A and B are shown apart, each in its own frame.
Chain A
Amino acid sequence: MNEREAQVLTVLNWLSLAMMAVAIYLVFLAAPTEVTMGLSQRIFYFHVGSGWVGAAALFVAVVAGLGVLRTGRRSWDRLAQSSIAVGLVFITMIIVTGSIWAKAAWNTWWTWSPRLTSAAVMWLVYVAYFMLRSAVEDPGKRARFAAVYGMVGFVTVLGTFLSIRLLADIHPTVFGAGAADTGGGLASGMHPPFFFSLATFSVLGVTLMWHSVRLARLADEIEELRIRLVLRGR
């Protein structure tokens, strides 16, 4: 890792930590309590933040997949793999926190509504990514297969996002058409904690992805050195 990259990563680490502290303050102490759902509604601020970062990370995997197919460079494959790892952590957060919120709001941990079903399918598709990826031995083939899989898999992200907008669903729509009809929408006092949480999760997502890419690069460096050693008879 070069010195410049180390400095930027240190800044990002501290920035993530500081922003998280402010976001926690805003969510727990500054945001108004929602009238119908009470305190459990505060899960929403980080739930949506997780969803945003998860979807953005999985979109990065699509771009990186295109990079793999166009150039065949290992650096694109590292980015795709890292962004899917980070995306998977965040979509796990959405599903688990959504389920906890559902218990408080709907009195059930899970219901097979279009949104929840599509989110479960999306999660399974990305868990399978790592299993299938590790089953391909040839590095070039593995990168190309993973690139195509990452791009096709993104259809499940779009499906999850659009499900509550296209199909009848118990899940509230927070923004856009139908927000008022589904119990969604935000009071003006909720805007600062909401947008600050989104920004915090964005910074955290970039930081984690960068660290993950750096580790993958380090692993490749070690592999190259090992090959050099083997070639020289050790």
Chain B
Amino acid sequence: MDLSYMMAGYLIIWMLAFGFILSMWQKSRRLERDLEAVRSLVEQLDQE
């Protein structure tokens, strides 16, 4: 019984930590894609 409470406690901690890290990683990938797309548009405009 003690063991299951301990495991549940740690499982929650790691799930929250990994969930937060995963959300930041996904946001980072999306932002880097957006940045590249916008940068190339700006460069294209600069050349025109």
Contact = CB atoms under 8 A, between A and B. Distances in A.
Contacts of B12: 93, 96-97, 100
A215 B16 contact: no
Nearest to A219: B31
Interface stretch (A39-47, A63-71, A133-141): A39-47
B6 A204 contact: no
A43 B9 CA distance: 6
A212 B24 contact: yes
Contacts of B42: 225, 228-229
A96 B9 CA distance: 8
Given A93-B16, A97-B9, A222 B38 contact: yes
Contacts of A162: none
B13 A40 contact: no
A222 B16 contact: no
A93 B38 contact: no
Given A39-B2, A93-B16, A234 B9 contact: no
Given A39-B2, A40-B6, A208-B24, A89 B17 contact: yes
Contacts of B39: 225
Interface in A95-141: 96-97, 100-101, 103-104
Interface residues of B, number: 26
Tell me if A's interface is mostly helix, strand, loop or mixed. helix
A229 B41 contact: yes
Nearest to B11: A100
B24 A211 contact: yes
B31 A222 contact: yes
Contacts of A93: 12-13, 16-17
A163 interface: no
B20 A215 contact: no
A208 B18 CA distance: 11
Nearest to A208: B20
Q: Which of B1, B5, B24 has the most CB of A within 10 A?
A: B5
B45 A218 contact: no
Contact of B10 (A46, A208, A211, A232): A46
A164 B41 CA distance: 58
Interface of B: 1-3, 5-6, 8-10, 12-13, 16-17, 20-21, 24, 27-28, 31-32, 34-35, 38-39, 41-42, 45
Interface of A: 37-40, 42-43, 46-47, 50, 86, 89, 92-93, 96-97, 100-101, 103-104, 204, 208, 211-212, 215, 218-219, 221-222, 225-226, 228-229, 232, 234
